[in-house]
Amino acid sequence: LFDPSAPGLAEYDSGLKTVECTKRSAAFGLWGVWSLFGPQLFGDLVDVTFELGQQLYEKLREAPDFEPVHHPECNIVVFRHIPEGLRNSSMETIGQFQLKLRRDVMQSGEFYIVPTAAGGYGALRVTLINPLTTTEHLDLLVESLRKRGQALLAES
């Protein structure tokens, strides 16, 4: 079916003239969507994910056991979960708790959360990318963190 020694196969390498080198046709999908729907679709996708970031921030800000680290300007939200049992703890202890909580959530496979540091102490970071994410998903995330946080505190 394929003869690599056939004449003419190696005369022109289109991979040298593409944006992604070895991924010759990867840009065609983007081009196809852009040509069918225009740039507004991409703007709408960005707007949706930025709005999800604001919604998560508001949920965390209103919850007594969560502490947003910043007011998000995009789809990235950094925060800490501070259950009642940790409220009088040092920032170092609270930061370590975030890392343990993140590990537990990751092992469950429920959500993908990235560890980060804010002010020199551990925190959690969520990047909302999927435009099909709903407020129900955000509620599930918050409840999962609460449930797993309580279980971690009970273990210690």
CATH number of the domain at 94, please.
Answer: 3.90.1150.170
> How many domains does the chain fold into?
1
In a domain, 69, yes or no: yes
Q: Is residue 97 part of a domain?
A: yes
Expressed as residue numbers, the domain containing 99 is 49-155
- Whether residue 154 is predicted with pLDDT greater than 60 in this model: the reply is yes
66 pairs with which residues across the strands? 81
CB atoms under 10 Å from CB of 66, counted, come to 21
pLDDT tens for residues 53-95? 999 999 999 999 999 999 999 999 999 999 999 999 999 999 9
10 belongs to a structural domain: no
The pLDDT value recorded for residue 28 is 78
**Which of 1-10, 26-35, 46-55, 129-138 is the least confident region?**
1-10
Q: Do the domain assignments include residue 2?
A: no
Indicate whether 145 belongs to any domain: yes
Percent of the chain with pLDDT over 90: 76
Residue 110 pLDDT exceeds 70: yes
Residue pair 71/78 in contact (Cβ under 8 Å)? The answer is: no
Containing H/E element for 152? Answer: helix 135-155
In three-state secondary structure terms, 66 is strand
In a domain, 74, yes or no: yes
Instruction: Please check whether residue 6 lies inside any domain of the structure.
Output: no
Residue 68 lies in a domain: yes
Phi-psi region of 13 (alpha: psi -120 to 50; beta: other; left: phi over 0): beta
